Amino acid sequence: MGKTVLIAEKPDQAKSFYLPLLERISGERFEKKNGYFESKGFFLTWFFGHLLEQLKPDEYNEKYKEWKIEDLPIIPDKMVYKYKGSGHKKQGQLILELCQKSDEIICGTDPDREGQGIFDTFARYYKLSKPTKRLWATSLTEKDLLKAWSKMKEMKEYNLLSIARELRADSDWLVGMNASRAYSIIGKGNLPIGRVLTATL
């Protein structure tokens, strides 16, 4: 029987909460490795929050390095992601390797839209197709983690949340990148416009 990989959102979440959970559930001894823990039946690893980010306009086309009103709006045919840095890429490739070695994946990111997005973006980036479940833990106490573990659902049950997160991320990019350029060009200064700034104003 193959292994199961549990992916936390952050290192502390994995080490302080998920490691004791897996030790209790499996009764197995875990060995600390570089970027993950391993036992006979499990891998435990983690994201660093968002590993991936959307490309900037000039990464789609170099002509966008110069801000021109006639180039707006900038609407990519498809939103493309990249790693935020070399350390993020190293951890991402490790997570991919552990997923490939496992028969099942468990998403243990935070139980909200952003947590869902962190996993979904990674899964789409690598076109992961392994059976995946969602550990939806609103509390990290031992009792509540055990309860959440016993009630895990298939990832497809969270499709609407995934779609909502993707739409928000795409709209943030479209509004932020285009409006920031438009206001900056018209105002002849750096005037960043984004989701939080726009709502506050």
Tokens of 163: 């779609």
Supply the DSSP symbol for 74.
P
Q: What is the pLDDT of residue 95?
A: 98
Q: What is the pLDDT of residue 197?
A: 58
Q: Which residue has the tokens 């060009």?
A: 185
Report the C-alpha gap between 102 and 167 in whole angstroms. 30
Q: What is the pLDDT of residue 157?
A: 97
Report the C-alpha gap between 177 and 12 in whole angstroms. 33
Q: Is the pLDDT assigned to residue 200 strictly greater than 60?
A: no
Split at pLDDT 50, 70, 90, the class of 184 is very high
More confident residue, 62 or 197: 62
Q: Is the pLDDT assigned to residue 193 strictly greater than 90?
A: no
188: burial class by Cβ within 10 Å (0-12, 13-18, 19+)? Answer: exposed
Q: What does the radius of gyration of the chain's CA atoms come to, in whole angstroms?
A: 20
Split at pLDDT 50, 70, 90, the class of 160 is very high
Split at pLDDT 50, 70, 90, the class of 166 is very high
Q: Is the pLDDT assigned to residue 201 strictly greater than 90?
A: no
Average pLDDT over residues 129-156: 97
Q: Is the pLDDT assigned to residue 192 strictly greater than 60?
A: yes
Least-confidence region, from 14-23, 91-100, 133-142, 183-192: 183-192
Q: Is the pLDDT assigned to residue 131 strictly greater than 90?
A: yes
Average pLDDT over residues 59-82: 97
Which residues, at least 6 apart from 54, have a Cβ–Cβ distance to it below 8 Å?
Answer: 79, 80, 81, 169, 173
Specify whether the CB–CB gap between 81 and 125 falls below 8 A: yes
Least-confidence region, from 35-44, 65-74, 185-194: 185-194
What is the average pLDDT value for the chain, to the nearest integer? 94
